[in-house]
Amino acid sequence: MNADMVIVGAGIVGLCTAVAAVRGGRAVVVVDPGSASTAVSAASGGLIRRFDLGGGLGDLVSAGFDRMRECATACSAYQPTGALTLQYSNDPLPTHVRTRTVPYAARSMRRRWPQIAVPPNVIGVFEEGAGWVDAPVLLAAIRSELRSRGVEFVTDRADHLVTDRGRVRGVVTSAGRVIAAPRVLVAAGIGSTRLAATAGVDFPLRTRRIGYCLLRIGRDRTRGLPTIVDRVGGTWVRPCRDPDLVLVGRRQEVFGVPAEIRHDISGADVHEIRRTIAQLLPAAADAPLAGGVTAYDVARPAPGDPRVRHCPDPRGLTIAAGWNGGGFKAAPAIAELAFEPRVLVEEEV
């Protein structure tokens, strides 16, 4: 089997890159043993906004937001609730969002959103038109589009990369299938480390625990509620398709967890989420539990480590992993960095 590009990993980064490649007229093969529902991206809360996306990619990510929203709207996976980011009043705003957001003082926020409580030294940065994406629905829709465009999904595990004279030449799967291509994107989450090593590339990653729960606070308290990212308290919350529910999570710094997704959550995690979210959304403190998810994302060991690497040796190999939860929201921008039509045209096989 031959292709212009092999993409290993069918999460949101891999799929968005595949779309960019196909629309650029390239033949693509996607290698992933799972389905849309088993990708770790499916466990994402799906918050999309311009603020603080992509680790400082700025205008590129802002443009990516527009494409993500357009794609998600087309398959009815997008909910334009608006997005409110809370931060200390003396923290600077990213330059790429200053003209696209409305700042709110604490008192103004309490008037507009009486469900929430914020201290006086906190401001809210509100983005009209932002919101959240139903991640499983969007992933399934993108896979369907790619299939309709003739993209083949190989449901084997990528075993190793093929290299020759300082260039990547393709991928061999666990079933012994050889897929020849002059360019390979590895976007396989925690598995990217093992696969990169088969080409002599060191790309360390670690898992980090994520968890969130569904709380039944009632539609009178969800009405008009935006998605909220509280950079002060380390929590986030968004409405759900069911108007009685909110999805609530908190920042966790627990690393080295199993790479698995469970559709349940421990009592201890629920207690800690309730305790922290009650400072922002008091109605959540004792609201009935309606479900939860315990999963993981993948991070680079140091916050400043690059998360997209174009390898000089072997040439043609790109690794895009370690987004620590931001990969879903910044995926179109990552696709631009990972897929370079000019390189594909100019480099010889």
Q: Are 177 and 235 in contact (CB under 8 A)?
A: no
168-191: per-residue pLDDT in tens? Answer: 999 999 999 999 999 999 999 999
Which of these ranges, 15-19, 39-43, 170-174, 236-240, has the smallest mean pLDDT? 39-43
What pLDDT, on a 0 to 100 scale, did the predictor assign at position 206?
93
- Residue 111 sits at the vertex; the CA angle it makes with 110 and 116, to the nearest 5 degrees, is 30
Query: DSSP for 278-331?
Result: TTT-GGGSSPPEEEEEEEEEEE-SSTTS-SEEE-SSSBTEEEE--BTT-HHHHH
Is pLDDT at 150 greater than 90 in this prediction?
A: yes
273-332: per-residue pLDDT in tens? Answer: 999 999 999 999 999 999 999 999 888 887 767 788 899 999 999 999 987 667 777 788
What pLDDT, on a 0 to 100 scale, did the predictor assign at position 52?
61
What pLDDT, on a 0 to 100 scale, did the predictor assign at position 340?
60
Residues 6+ apart with CB under 8 A from 164: none
Query: How many angstroms from the chain centroid is the CA of residue 185?
Result: 17
Looking at every residue in the chain, the average pLDDT score rounds to 88
Residues 6+ apart with CB under 8 A from 276: 233, 234, 235, 250
Is pLDDT at 56 greater than 60 in this prediction?
A: no
| Phi, psi for residue 225 in degrees, rounded to 5 | -75, 125
What pLDDT, on a 0 to 100 scale, did the predictor assign at position 347?
36
What pLDDT, on a 0 to 100 scale, did the predictor assign at position 212?
94
| Beta-bridge partners for 122 | 88
Mean pLDDT across 88-116:
86
Is pLDDT at 346 greater than 50 in this prediction?
A: no
Mean pLDDT across 128-156:
94
Name the DSSP class of 5: E
What pLDDT, on a 0 to 100 scale, did the predictor assign at position 341?
44
